[in-house]
Amino acid sequence: MRSLSEIDTISKRASKAKGFSWGVSEEIGKCVKHLELFGLPGLKNLNQYLKIYDQNKFQQIKLISKSNLSENKFHCPISSGIGFLDQIKSLEKLKSLEFNKIAYPILFLSFASRASEVLGKKILLKLDEKEFILNFNQSIFGNYSKNEIWENANSVLINFLDNNNSFSDDEWKEMTKFANETFVEESDELKEKSAGAGLTDND
């Protein structure tokens, strides 16, 4: 089995060989490594993407807006992902945004996961009928786990989720009451034991 370090390195070098800058190639390597860590087919999809990269003129995008529409071409997952990651602080203010077409969306998914960590918020990402909850780049929860090439998504919706507890204030109070039962009142015996630390001279 290949190590995550090997996956990172080979993805970075292969991307550089296809014409990406070293900086962008390093970002690609990180993302493919994280996809494989989460059990998603990052290297498989990057390999196919690089095979057709020269023949397909993907839509390049630098400035992400609330609605990112392309009439004919599919958005490049790399430029879209890097733009999303770089602009995440300002994009959060939009609450949600969309793309109408994106190629090899698994690759974009990884950039969005990393953006969740930078932002400090969970992100809900919908790629066609598939949904993913991105948890601060610590985990990806979704209804997709196939080890296959995913060539494109026609609809991409992104929602920034507020950080809320999964429990109520009453449940927190009840748990606090349970936790407080671990505290023991200090008896005279305990006081003597704790105070006796210096009674024995070992010098």
Domain around 131: 4-160
- Compute and round to an integer the Cα radius of gyration of the chain: 25
Q: Residue 194: pLDDT above 80?
A: no
Q: Which residue has the higher pLDDT, 108 or 192?
A: 108
- Domain total of the chain: 1
Q: Is residue 186 part of a domain?
A: no
Give the H/E segment covering residue 125.
strand 123-127
CA dist., res. 165 & res. 53, Å (int): 43
User: What tens digit of pLDDT does each residue of 125-182 get?
Assistant: 999 999 999 999 999 999 988 999 999 999 999 999 999 999 999 999 999 999 998 8
Q: Is residue 172 part of a domain?
A: no
pLDDT at position 57: 86
The two structure tokens encoding residue 77? 């997952």
In contact, 46 and 28? CB cutoff 8 Å? yes
pLDDT at position 182: 87
Q: How many other CB atoms are there within 10 angstroms of residue 88's CB atom?
A: 21
Q: Is residue 64 part of a domain?
A: yes
Q: Is residue 14 part of a domain?
A: yes
Q: Which residues contact 137 (CB under 8 A, 6 or more apart)?
A: 34, 113, 114, 116, 117
Q: Residue 195: pLDDT above 90?
A: no
User: What tens digit of pLDDT does each residue of 151-162 get?
Assistant: 999 999 999 999
Q: Residue 78: pLDDT above 60?
A: yes
Mean pLDDT of 18-32: 97
